[in-house]
Structure 1
Amino acid sequence: MAESREHTFAGVRGVNTVREWPHDRPRYVVILIHGYGEHIGRHEHVADRLVRHGAAVYGMDHVGHGKSEGDRALIEDFEDVVTDVRTVEERARRDHPGVPLVVIGHSMGGMIAARYAQLHGTGLAALVLSAPVIGEWEVVSTLLALDEIPGIPLDPAMLSRDPSVGAAAAAEPLVWHGPFKRPTLEAFTAALTTLAEGGTFGALPTLWVHGEDDPLVPLGPSRGGIDTVRGTDLSERIYPGGRHEGFNETNKDEVLDDVTSFIDRALTARARGVSEW
């Protein structure tokens, strides 16, 4: 795996930890945004692949996640997380001035990345959304309707057809294994509404990847959300049989090949000043 280092910064709601996978002469920079209840370390293999492809990679543990401060798995306002991602971007741009920047977000991180693109997309070279929470997510309204949110653990089989992925997540101490917290669910509701009303991605080259059989963030509702915010430059890859974590699926090499090929096309088009798709 590529070497990495950590640093911290004062986020909106506490001290956040950022992991950086450096590259001496990167062709592009990636801001990698993780999903709910996990941490950026679960995406180390993704960062490694991107570094070998020519990227410097930065990824933050969100407030309440991983090594960052805050009550576990508690996010009260996703706009604050977007602001923290902006701080990471500013650090990356100081480290690598003039280098094209790509944002990649998975699941909840895809929702955050989509909102980030609405606010700051003109400064990005490309956007990748992996199984994004976007559009309607029925689990949120279902849980909010209950008087008490049950502490039913996530079925690890939802993540990947590879059973070792779920087993590793279930044993990971930095992964949250408790119930959703009501303020976090309310924040999801507000964020999805904000996204739906926040406009499109314009001409930003965007790749949407999703498992066809994703039981956690179903394909259909996400498609509706994508159709609402998509700009003029959307590519999609839907993987038959794929579950929630495409980057950890049995065909993860194919998924990462698609991501890196898309980034190559986006960077080439950016250099030429034209769109190729």
Structure 2
Amino acid sequence: MTKTRDWTYEGVLGRLTARTWEGPGDPSRIVVVAHGYGEHIGRYERLAARLAADGAVVHAVDYIGHGRSEGERVLVTDFEDVVTDLHTLAETAGRDHPGLPVVLLGHSMGGLIAARYAQRYGDTLAALVLSSPVVGRWDAVAQLLALDEIPDVPLDITTLSRDPAVGERYAADPLVWHGPFKRPTLQALERGLDAVAKGPSLGDLPLMWIHGESDTLVPIEGSRAGITHLRGPHYVERTYPEARHELFNELNADTVLDEVATFIRDAAPR
């Protein structure tokens, strides 16, 4: 049985809501999860429960402007601040469980945040997992910024997963943002992509990249350039034919979760 605890802490620009998942017995590792744009930590229950059952204590936080945290909805003016907030979370986790190895897992926009985190704080990590990450080239940012007005067009929920229930739950979730991008957030994303591209490779840090081959939200080939820049000798790549954007909510999610859990267990053993 996984135990869940919600708590808050002060971030750079406001109060943030975090969640901790812990399985039975003493944990063997810490996993910090960085969620995607417009969503929240409550959408990661399945992933967290799987990792907690495997011996991890899992921590995640709603970014500023997301979920139950403070701030104007989906307004992020500088992703360096979000990285700093995530580091505060990891430091708290380390104080609660001193001596345990820390693994960082980032999905989508959280992949950008996690990649930048690893460039800044890689010496504190045992491994990094990037799921459908916004790194390398993401054409949607430049296309939207070129417009005089950002269109208020709802996300096509069929792009999330081949399981229609995933999109239906997303569309009905009041903690998910269903409005348009905000220009300052897009500008911050553009700067964040540039910072990762100009930042260092991750050297010997073990890296796992997972991506759906039919992901139209964050196309796989755009991310590949960023992964090529980041990766070092300890690298695992898993791509999944026909899978879409949210691999932890896909029809083959059990396989994905098993492969991610195995990588994490090998990189940060008991």
Q: Which amino acid aligns with 1:52?
A: A
Question: Superposition pairs for residues 1-277 of structure 1, below 5 Å?
Answer: 2-23=2-23, 24-268=25-269
Q: How far, CA to CA, are the matches of 1:161 and 1:149 in structure 2?
A: 28
Q: How far, CA to CA, are the matches of 1:262 and 1:5 in structure 2?
A: 26
Q: Could you tell me the TM-score, scaled by structure 1's length? A: 0.95
Q: How far, CA to CA, are the matches of 2:2 and 2:59 in structure 1?
A: 13
Q: How far, CA to CA, are the matches of 2:98 and 2:204 in structure 1?
A: 23
Q: CA deviation at 1:267?
A: 2.4
- Give ranges in structure 2 of 5+ residues lacking alignment: none
Q: CA deviation at 1:266?
A: 1.1
Q: How far, CA to CA, are the matches of 2:262 and 2:161 in structure 1?
A: 23
- What do residues 163-205 of structure 1 show as CA deviations (whole Å, max 9, x unaligned)? 0000000000000000000000000000000000111011011
Are the aligned partners of 2:159 and 2:244 in contact in 1 as well (CA < 8 Å)?
yes
Which residue matches 1:274? none
Q: How far, CA to CA, are the matches of 1:228 and 1:125 in structure 2?
A: 19
Q: CA deviation at 1:85?
A: 0.4
Are the aligned partners of 2:103 and 2:268 in contact in 1 as well (CA < 8 Å)?
no
- Give ranges in structure 1 of 5+ residues lacking alignment: 272-277
Q: Which amino acid aligns with 1:152?
A: V
Q: CA deviation at 1:5?
A: 1.0
Q: How far, CA to CA, are the matches of 1:184 and 1:146 in structure 2?
A: 14
Q: Which amino acid aligns with 2:143?
A: T
Are the aligned partners of 2:152 and 2:180 in contact in 1 as well (CA < 8 Å)?
yes
Q: CA deviation at 1:231?
A: 1.9
Q: Could you tell me the TM-score, scaled by structure 2's length? A: 0.98
Are the aligned partners of 2:157 and 2:171 in contact in 1 as well (CA < 8 Å)?
yes
Q: Percent identity?
A: 57
- Cα root mean square deviation, aligned: 1.0
Q: Which amino acid aligns with 1:13?
A: L
Q: Which amino acid aligns with 1:29?
A: I
Q: How far, CA to CA, are the matches of 2:254 and 2:60 in structure 1?
A: 21
Q: How far, CA to CA, are the matches of 2:49 and 2:184 in structure 1?
A: 34
Moved over 2 A (4+): none
Out of 258-267 and 102-111, give the one that drifted further: 258-267
